[in-house]
Amino acid sequence: MSQGKGLSYEQRKALYEENVRDRHGNKIADNAKKAERPKIEPIVFNKPRNESGMTVSLSQSPKASQNTEQTAKENKTDNTAARKRSVTPGGIIDGLIYSCKAPDAPTVTYTRMSSLGRFDMPLFTVVVILLVMGVIMMSSASYAYALKDEGDSFAYASRQLVAAIIGFASMLFISRLDYHLLIMPLRRKTWVKGRLVPKENGNGVNMTHLFFLFCLFLMVLVVFMGESVNDAKRWLVIFGVRFQPSEFLKLGAILLTAYVLQRNYDKRSTMVCGFMKYILIIGVCCFFCLLQRHMSALVILAVIILAMMFVGGCNKYGFIIFIALALVGGAIFLASGSWEYLNDRIQSWQKPFSDARDTTYQTAQSLITIGSGGWFGLGLGNSRQKYYYLPESQNDFVFSIICEELGFFGGMVIILLFVMFAVRGFTIAMRARDRFGSFVALGITLQITLQALLNIGVACNAIPNTGISLPFFSYGRTALVTQLVEAGILLSISRQAET
């Protein structure tokens, strides 16, 4: 208002018109000036010239206008012909061939460690708390069985501690690397017209391909050279070290699915690139899990890949048909009674105390163990059920021992920690730098969260016994190292995410 003092009516009117703004906050006077600016013709080399030798614009060139009209007619003719061919058998085949052509992978660049930001500190804190509590509770839960089987009460705890140290060091190392190394082509150059030139995109064999093939090779070895435990051949012994290759396969399937989702994102609605490739990954993984009678790994892998397909975009018709066929096939498989132990587990879930001395013994003892803890538990190390009453107390039913020793509140703390892990993991997935990082973060978070949910559900008899371990808590060196490596990848993604 002070600017208007001492001015005439015309001057105040001009000042008002200069400062008035539209509903978007832009000055109307500025918009009018922009509209009055002359259009700048783009720079074109070899412009057409008239008879006197002077250059003319493209719009004034008769030859250009004739070419433009001719091009428009040709495009219209091609579109009409394409529509006619699309309804013929030959057109359908051409469409399938087009959908089978792999698109160029996005260009992948590597970022130096000094240019990366800080990793997600809340996620790191949650992982450290879960790791420390997991080693302590597994040591307490395995005390009796380690003394019976190994002659040393801390035999399982010492092995788990070594795996925790190796996994933690791996997590810190991987978190300081750029996760794009997983999909960078191993051959950075290619031959073009007899010359070796750098690649312009991310096509080519990368570490994700090699790691997945290595996992499949280990799964094949398990079929022929695997060690059987409890009538299930799932373990492999190499150089005296026993490990479970299916844990590696989970990570390999997540990385490969994320890579395929990113590469085929523009063709996600086609049947081949948007559906068949992922079904091939599911089929291969589930086939080897069936050979090992590893139903828990089969369920986890199928759910994770299907969830990544749903979030990343896929052919919706193929997805719906596959889900329907899977449900019908699973129902027929269970009704046929092909595997009796699956039917026994379902019956144990429905009536946990019907045969508490034989078939439902484990489920009944798990419920007794949880109920014995009360609100605040019996105290750390004071569990009674771990003394040969509850089978697999250090593995699949470690959560029952947690509830017995730490009570209801201790069990809720564990659940809240996994909820916090899921929240931070999904946050990183939503704010990742690119689609590959987003899909990898989604898959890893789903795997760890889903395993925790299923294990706690089994311990509480909310779902049938599936033999799924509790991440960071159950005894298993392969699983613990793999989970910490996955946490390291999550932290690496968070360095370039807007968290």
Asked if residue 386 lies in contact with residue 356, where contact means CB atoms within 8 angstroms, the answer is no
**pLDDT per position as a tens digit, 6-60:** 666 666 667 666 665 555 556 655 655 555 544 444 444 444 445 444 544 444 4
The structure tokens 């004739």 sit at: 66
**pLDDT per position as a tens digit, 202-220:** 677 889 999 999 999 999 9
Report domain extents, the chain: 119-495
- Nearest C-alpha neighbor of 416 from the set 83, 171, 129: 129
**pLDDT per position as a tens digit, 414-454:** 999 999 999 999 999 999 988 999 999 999 999 999 999 99
> If pLDDT is split at 50, 70 and 90, which confidence band does 114 have?
low
Which residues, other chains included, contact 223 with Cβ-Cβ below 8 Å and sequence gap of 6+? 233, 288, 291, 292
Asked if residue 457 lies in contact with residue 470, where contact means CB atoms within 8 angstroms, the answer is no
pLDDT the model gives residue 443: 95
- What ranges in 337-476 are assigned the alpha helix state H? 340-350, 361-373, 398-430, 435-459
Most confident listed range (115-129, 215-229, 480-494) = 480-494
Tell me how crowded residue 456 is: count the other CB atoms within 10 A of its CB.
21
- Quote the CA–CA distance of 230 and 233 in Å, as a whole number: 8
| Strand partners of residue 65 | none
Distance from first CA to last CA of the chain, Å, rounded?
44
The DSSP call for residue 27 is B
> If pLDDT is split at 50, 70 and 90, which confidence band does 240 have?
confident
**Lowest-pLDDT choice from 111-125, 292-306, 355-369, 443-457:** 111-125
> If pLDDT is split at 50, 70 and 90, which confidence band does 112 have?
low
Q: How many CA atoms lie within 13 A of 63 on its CB side?
A: 6
| Residue range 71-83: mean pLDDT, rounded | 51
pLDDT the model gives residue 91: 43
Percent of the chain residues topping a pLDDT of 90:
33
pLDDT the model gives residue 29: 58
> If pLDDT is split at 50, 70 and 90, which confidence band does 119 have?
confident
Residue 64: pLDDT above 80? Answer: no
The residue among 156 and 107 whose pLDDT is bigger is: 156
Amino acid, single-letter form, for residue 336: S
| Residue range 218-229: mean pLDDT, rounded | 84
| Residue range 356-382: mean pLDDT, rounded | 87
**pLDDT per position as a tens digit, 379-427:** 898 888 888 888 888 888 999 999 999 999 999 999 999 999 999 999 9
